[in-house]
Chain A
Amino acid sequence: MFAPFLDALLLQAGYNAGLVTVGAALLGIAGGSGGTFLFLRKRSLVSDGMAHATLPGVGLAFMVMVALGGDGRSLPGLLLGSALSATLGLLAIEWIVSRTRLAEDAAIGAVLSVFFGFGIVLLTIIQTMSGGYQAGLEGFLLGSTAGMLFQDALLIAIGGGLIVGLVFVLRRPMTLVAFDTEFAAAAGIGVRRIDLAMMGLVMAVTVIGLKLVGLILVVAMLIIPPVTARLWTERTERVVLVGGAFGGVSGYVGAALSASAPNLPTGPIIVLVAFALFACSLLFAPGRGVLAAVIRHRRFQWQVHRRQGLLALAREEPILDPLTLSVLRKEGLIRQDAVVSEKGRAAAAKALLDERRWAIARQRSEDGSLDSHWDGLTPIESVLTHDEIAEIDRQIGPPAAVR
């Protein structure tokens, strides 16, 4: 299993398979970076509606091509049909949202299911149309790379490359629009045009991805890599880059894995590779990861209880919260019998002094800029300079001893 995988990774698994792998990688980059703009505009699932809406276009294109005496299976023709019906789906979503009281999620769901259902009707017509003639259009549902024609693989690779180029050219205005629509408009960028370009990009990824990943799963290439990237960075330009990288890796590794063994369908494998990257990121990413969040929450809760406990000690109030008592005990601030230790007395005095300094500092602050730091946990030393604190201390007078 490993040797064929390595072969596929190094593009040694045959000319077609190599081309498909490169195409998948390019498509991954295009989807990951292009999907970022959609994600930042909070419209990720519009792409799901569009992807499902491609099916009737595929069916109709096939019927038209057969009626004109053609083969019906010509990939460019089918993709053109799918693009047209995806556009119709997008327009239907926007029409429902602007004309009725229905929200966008309902519009997406309605368009998705109805277009898809109608597409299935067309597929059953095609199945019976020319006497058992297998059109193989089912391959568009989940993608199929088995027995893919050379020119189809080439089309995917070239298409993927073109979309990547397009993202590169449009990255600046699209970043601006996604980040701050109003500012972009004020800066003279045609927001409507850029939005259209964004949708065009999404459409291109969807259409090119149909044969490879299938229309049910192609949205994953537009959604999972940007979300993964978002877990790692807070900056828009980097989300685009990192999203593209995650998408590219998913496409490349997924296609190679799928080529290395039977019964590993390309589309699902690419999606699962993307998800594996996402799952690792969700667990281990520094800012938004689960692990980091758990540790942060624990530490935060500990600090809150420590501070509350110390202030209660300083003010000689009873401590009722069992967690507070346990925190103070574990830090050696009180003894097992709840009597204050020497260390606890010093810490309590320090906490009380910090409180008093904060009270004075806030009164002296004219613009309220200190308020955002005043959460009961930030030591004043981290906000004010040494001299400012000395000034405050003169106002307080000598510190009171804590018994």
Chain B
Amino acid sequence: MTLAALELARDEGRIAPFPADQSPLVIRELTVSYGDKPAVFSLDAAIEPESMTAIVGPNGAGKSTLLKAALGIVPRLSGRILVFGQPISQSMHRIAYVPQRASVDWDFPTRVIDVVLMGLYRELGFLRPVRRHHRERALACLDRVGMADFATRQIGQLSGGQQQRVFLARALAQNAELYLLDEPLAGVDAATEKAVIDVLKTLKVEHRTVVCVHHDLATVGDYFDNVLLINGRKIAEGPVTTTFTAENLQKTYGGRLATAHIDELKLPAAS
């Protein structure tokens, strides 16, 4: 029934032109509210498989809320989420999640490698012992983000960029098909930004799908294939080349984004 409805929606041209059951993430009529203000209102979106998508919008536009709702960790007022064509409860193991760095207490008494091992939770469960091959995998993930030398450090000693890389390593350890990242490039140094983007691009080559909440308009075009512009509701979604236009940005940010600033981005002119 659900799939049939999605087919119907696709026939109407409302959903991207790839089979709905293959989209890693389909969001339909999603509304989430904190109190009486909707943070996300009646939002539809579908993520293209094996692509990199940026979720872009002003502060308080509901970007993080959208990710959390997709993961099922905030309650929704209405709407439904399909991950690889299935309800989230049956497809959780196919998603990896990188929360915002500031959402945890970095004074927590634990080491870098222990944080990465948390990514293996689904495998390890409650009591299965951590064996050498688990540790080696965690180390390999740290190595991919250039943090292997820090494995036994206390997490409080890391810089902001290093913390971000550890979070990314933990998501790599989850070995998922869909990666949801919340502001992975916010407040990090240039070296970390490059390391993170390199890893994300590799993920795409490995036929995985990446969705990032992203705040830096200047780099959207360089880093991502698709963009989802939201401000409480969806403004536009599609390939960066056709969707990330001055007109759509003006719509997303209202009058807040100075026209001069948009000009600096050297976007394709509004049609």
Contact = CB atoms under 8 A, between A and B. Distances in A.
Contacts, number: 72
Among B14, B29, B33, B256, chain A packs the most CB atoms within 10 A around the CB of: B29
Contact of B250 (A320, A323, A363): A363
Contacts of A311: 42
Interface stretch (B75-83, B128-136, B137-145, B206-214): B75-83
Interface stretch (A21-29, A193-201, A301-309, A388-396): A301-309
B222 interface: no
A365 B254 contact: yes
Interface in B90-148: 107
A330 interface: no
26 contacts: A101-B107, A300-B33, A300-B36, A301-B77, A301-B78, A304-B31, A304-B38, A304-B42, A304-B78, A308-B42, A312-B29, A317-B9, A318-B8, A318-B9, A320-B28, A320-B80, A321-B79, A324-B78, A363-B250, A365-B255, A368-B254, A371-B231, A371-B254, A376-B41, A376-B232, A376-B233
B9 A321 contact: no
Contact of A368 (B29, B78, B107, B256): B256
The interface residues of chain B, by DSSP majority, are classed as mixed
A275 interface: no
A235 B14 CA distance: 48
Interface in B45-88: 58, 77-80
Nearest to B107: A101
B191 interface: no
A307 B42 CA distance: 9
Nearest to A305: B78
B116 to A, nearest CB: 23
A240 B232 CA distance: 37
Interface residues of A, number: 31
A375 B80 contact: no
Interface string B1-45: 010010011001010000000000000110101001110011000
A110 to B, nearest CB: 18
Given A317-B12, A366-B255, 7 more contacts: A101-B107, A320-B29, A320-B80, A321-B79, A363-B251, A367-B255, A368-B254
B223 interface: no
Interface string B230-271: 011100000000000000001101111000000000000000
Nearest to A296: B36
Interface of A: 101, 296-297, 300-301, 304-305, 307-308, 311-312, 317-318, 320-321, 323-324, 359, 362-363, 365-371, 374-377
A31 to B, nearest CB: 31
Which of A311, A324, A371 has the most chain B CB within a 10 Å cutoff? A371
A20 to B, nearest CB: 44
B42 A376 contact: yes
Contacts of B5: 318, 320
Interface of B: 2, 5, 8-9, 12, 14, 28-29, 31, 33, 36-38, 41-42, 58, 77-80, 107, 231-233, 250-251, 253-256
A355 to B, nearest CB: 10
Contacts of A359: 251
Nearest to A375: B38
Contacts of B80: 320-321
Contacts of A376: 38, 41-42, 232-233
B256 to A, nearest CB: 4
Nearest to B254: A368
A323 B14 CA distance: 22
Given A318-B5, A374-B232, A376-B232, A368 B38 contact: no
A377 B8 CA distance: 27
A225 B256 CA distance: 43
Contacts of A368: 253-256
Q: Give 10 closest A-B pairs by Cβ, nearest first.
A: A368-B256, A368-B254, A376-B41, A366-B255, A368-B255, A371-B254, A367-B255, A308-B42, A300-B36, A365-B255
A371 B255 CA distance: 9
A4 to B, nearest CB: 47
Nearest to A374: B232
A300 B38 CA distance: 9
A380 to B, nearest CB: 15
A363 B252 CA distance: 9
Given A304-B77, A311-B42, A362-B251, A375 B37 contact: yes
Nearest to A319: B29
